[in-house]
């Protein structure tokens, strides 16, 4: 694994002892942070606005 590589493991009955691993190049810190912030903004915009009196 390199610094920005990403991977995940799939466990199932067929892959209990040795999970299926999918690995590839990751986006890196800056791109990941931008994507995360974008997702948070989308979620915030989709939430109903509540006002208190």
Tokens at 29, concatenated = 């810190």
> pLDDT tens digits, residue range 1-53?
556 788 889 999 988 889 999 998 888 888 889 999 999 999 999 998 888 87
Query: Can you give the pLDDT at residue 25?
Result: 83
Terminal C-alpha separation, the chain? 54
Residue 24, CA distances (Å) to 11, 13, 20 in order: 18, 24, 14
Query: Can you give the pLDDT at residue 15?
Result: 80
What's the angle, vertex CA 21, arms to CA 40 and CA 23, rounded to 5?
A: 60
Token pair 């979620």 is at which residue? Answer: 43
Q: What predicted TM-score, i.e. pTM, was given to this entire model?
A: 0.49
Query: Can you give the pLDDT at residue 37?
Result: 97
The ranges assigned to domains in the chain are 5-46
């Amino acid at each position: 694994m390199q610094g920005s590589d990403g991977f995940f493991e799939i466990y199932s009955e067929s892959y209990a002892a040795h999970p299926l691993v999918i690995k590839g190049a990751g986006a890196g810190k800056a791109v990941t942070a931008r994507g995360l912030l974008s997702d948070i903004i989308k979620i915030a915009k989709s939430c109903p606005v509540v006002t208190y009196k």
